[in-house]
Amino acid sequence: MKDHQTPEPSRYDLAVIGAGSAGFSAAITAAESGARVALIGAGTIGGTCVNFGCVPSKALIRTVESVHHARAAARFDGITAEGRVTDWAATVAQKQTLVEELRGAKYADVLPRHENVDYIEGRARFADDGRLTVEGAVFPAARIIIATGSRPHVPAIPGIDEVATLDSTSALELSALPASMLVLGAGYIGVELAQLFARAGVAVTLVSRRGVLPEAEPEVSAALAGYLADEGIRLVRAKGYEQVAQRDEGVALRLAGGEMLMAERLVLATGRVPNSDGLNLAAAGVATDARGGIETDANMCTANPNVWAAGDVTGRDQFVYMAAYGAKIAARNAVAGAAASYNNATMPWVVFSDPQVAGVGLSEAQARAAGHAVVTSVLPLDAVPRALAARDTRGLIKLVAEAGSKRLLGAQILAPEGADSIQTAAMALKAGLTYEELGDTVMPYLTTVEGLKLAAQTFEKDVAALSCCAG
């Protein structure tokens, strides 16, 4: 891996700012097209997903699932088991070993395989005359892709700057578990962290303004909230936050109306902010929205025709696979003169709670807002043989279709193994299937994905009247 602090003038066809998933995707894609590429990174190589997000969180979620499954083993007659955390520091150290292995295998060790990509360690920004600089030195490049990612959002609560808060990064680095924890925000990050630490033995209070997963289907949100409460997580709805303060016994959060919540630690899970500030984008003619997301057209190009952007810094679809997808489009358009368009119509998404939540396409509310005449199907998981055999019927499947044409518009799954089934729904939407066609698709018996077939049949049939594999 070559490291050039002072590159030769006009040496690069493309400069990619940001060495995370989007940056690597853009750099490799451009290099494969024959371009000479500078990948400019500041900080830990690999970005958020491998270092602070997807990998560490999912590793620890899977770890504490083993504890929960042991405790839940009594649902099977004749089975008793016990699980508990005995050395959290060792658990976190094992997680970190995985992070470092994947950082090497998927990022640092990948660059030497691409001779026309140079890694430049340094902080990039635009000078007042619009030229790109790295550590203050002008850095000539024909085209530029910005892929600087995002960071945890800090809400504007009086007193927040004086409190030793945790975020989705630092919470996963704790070597010792606190006795209690307030998790502020019940989106996908807040839900995952709340359940993770509750299963590890922490007394967790999950606080939010709009409830659990407010963007999910209401049936899914309500059911998951019930399951979290069943595990001992206290759920609190707040109209607002008046003040937060550090006290000897922990953190005190006063809600609008006067209610006071106390815990040893406070975790902020209130969304993420694009890393667009500090780049002096206005000087380069690059526009941002009200939240700081870089505005792009369908081709990932900014208001500056020589600058593209991809990934979390655009403020949309903040998933690692969408960052990589958007970066490939940006790179092809930037260096190969292509006109590929970004399309998230069949983008699957997953929340790694237990049961997992996964979705694709339009929700019922989104479909109606888009002007569709809508029909829906809701199938409880106790109608799915796989769930019955596992003696775990937590969850449901909801399908949304267009009335008349019967074309599928969206799907959401709440199930212990729901994440691995959503891609089937995504492919059905991509193929433009009707719910009749999905219901006629052959699927393996005693699988969670068979629930999609049953949910499709539920539009017009009573699946309770069908035999196994019938229809």
pLDDT in tens, 172-210: 999 999 999 999 999 999 999 999 999 999 999 999 999
120 belongs to an annotated ligand binding site = no
pLDDT tens digits, one per residue of 111-127: 889 999 999 999 999 99
CATH number of 160-270: 3.50.50.60
Q: Is residue 76 within 8 Å of 391, Cβ to Cβ?
A: yes
Which structure tokens are listed for 329? 């489009």
pLDDT at 111: 87
Q: Are 411 and 422 in contact (CB under 8 A)?
A: yes
Which residue intervals of 128-284 are DSSP H helices? 188-199, 218-230
Q: Rounded mean pLDDT of 384-413? A: 97
Asked if the domains 12-50+93-152+273-336 and 349-463 are classified in one and the same CATH topology, the answer is no
- pLDDT category at 36 given cuts 50, 70, 90 is very high
How far, in Å, CA of 139 to CA of 106, rounded? 27
Residue 396 has pLDDT above 70, yes or no: yes
Rounded Cα distance between 56 and 116, Å, is 31
| pLDDT reading at 3 higher than 60 | no
Average pLDDT, the chain: 94
| DSSP assigned state of 21 | H
**% helix / strand / coil in the chain, to the nearest 5?**
35, 25, 40
pLDDT at 192: 98
Question: How confident is the model over 159-178, as pLDDT tens digits?
Answer: 999 999 999 999 999 999 99
Query: Is residue 95 annotated as involved in ligand binding?
Result: no
CA distances from 175 to 28, 94, 262 (A): 36, 11, 22
The pLDDT confidence band at residue 471, using thresholds 50, 70 and 90, is low
**How buried is residue 106: exposed, middle or buried, by Cβ count under 10 Å (0-12/13-18/19+)?**
middle
Share of the chain above pLDDT 70, in %: 97
Is 277 annotated in a binding site? The answer is no
Residue ranges of domains in the chain: 12-50+93-152+273-336, 160-270, 349-463
Residue 189 labeled ligand binder: yes
Residues 310, 330 contacting (CB under 8 angstroms): yes
pLDDT score recorded for residue 47: 87
Nearest to 355 by CA among 397, 410, 318, 321: 397
Question: For the ranges 100-104, 132-136, 426-430, which has the lowest average pLDDT?
Answer: 100-104
Q: Characterize the bridge pairing of strands 203-208 and 241-247.
A: unpaired
Q: Which residue has the tokens 């490939």?
A: 328
- 3 state SS of 392: coil
Residue 6 has pLDDT above 50, yes or no: no
Q: Provide the pairing of β-strand 137-138 with 132-134.
A: antiparallel
312 is in an annotated binding site: yes
Q: Is 150 annotated as a binding residue?
A: yes
Query: What class does CATH assign to 12-50+93-152+273-336?
Result: alpha beta
Is-contact 323 25, C-beta < 8 A?
yes
The answer to whether 410 is a known ligand-binding residue is: no
432 annotated binding-site participant: no
Q: Is residue 187 part of an annotated ligand binding site?
A: yes
Could you give the percent of the chain with pLDDT greater than 90? 90
User: Residue 58, annotated ligand binder?
Assistant: yes
Question: Is residue 7 predicted with pLDDT exceeding 60?
Answer: no
What pLDDT, in 10s, does the model give residues 255-314? 999 999 999 999 999 999 999 999 999 999 999 999 999 999 999 999 999 999 999 999
- Quick one: pLDDT at residue 310? 98
Confidence of residue 49 (pLDDT cuts 50, 70, 90): confident
Q: Is the pLDDT of residue 5 over 60?
A: no
Q: Is 364 annotated as ligand-binding? A: no
CATH of 349-463, one of 3.40.640.10, 3.30.390.30, 3.40.630.10, 3.40.50.300: 3.30.390.30
